[in-house]
Amino acid sequence: MQIVQRTRVFDGHYKVSQLIVQDGDEQLRRERFEPGHAVAALVFDTKKQQYLLARQYRIGPEKEILELCAGMIDGDEAPETAIRREIHEELGYDVDQLEHIVTMWPSPGTSAESIAVFYAEVSHQSGRGGGLAEENEKIETVGFSLEQLVAEKLQDAKTVIAVQWAQLRK
């Protein structure tokens, strides 16, 4: 398959392109959601011995969900820089250790988004967290032991993957 034409059909907060894909003698028309590239982290507070997750309202499910600290990469920013910024904005912590778990495509059939998922250890809260007012974020930090976290009915795929990684690691 080869993309032979690309047209931006929506250019708002997110972007959508229409692609013409050549597949042998056939041309297929496909839409591709282009939200950008994201980062996320399973954060572990080494002093409290707790995993820290974010609870916030999400437009996709139209409700509050529990998930990893996460956000978008700004421009040419390195994923490691972006996740350190997001952890400070959302949870108020400085990162002591950072380990890359996986970079994944959450929905490769329709979306150009990739998410770099990390494990982060923290021990010092230097900010209040809660997200940025100018981004209308209202984030609650929730702490869990590994046993409590495994027992949670998680609905977010990147969070499920990171929690399973933590289970296998212990």
Nearest to 69 by CA among 38, 47, 100: 38
Q: Which pTM was predicted?
A: 0.91
148 contact partners, CB below 8 Å, separation of at least 6: none
* The pLDDT of residue 129: 84
Question: What does the pLDDT look like over 71-106, one tens digit per residue?
Answer: 999 999 999 999 999 999 999 999 999 999 999 999
75 contact partners, CB below 8 Å, separation of at least 6: none
Amino acid at 5: Q
* The pLDDT of residue 137: 75
The strand pairing partners of 43, in sequence order, are: 52, 120
Q: Is the dihedral of CA 119, 65, 34, 104 positive or negative?
A: positive
Tokens representing 95 are 């990162």
Q: What H or E segment, with its residue span, contains residue 105?
A: none
* The pLDDT of residue 143: 97
Long-range interactions of 20-28: CB distance < 8 A, separation 24+: none
* The pLDDT of residue 125: 92
Question: What does the pLDDT look like over 4-54, one tens digit per residue?
Answer: 999 999 999 899 999 999 999 999 999 999 999 999 999 999 999 999 999
* The pLDDT of residue 23: 94
Tell me, rounded to whole angstroms, the distance of Cα 170 from its chain centroid.
Answer: 23
Catalytic-role residue among 26, 62, 134, 135 = 135
pLDDT band at 130 (very low <50, low <70, confident <90, very high): confident
- Please indicate whether residue 64 is annotated as part of the active site: no
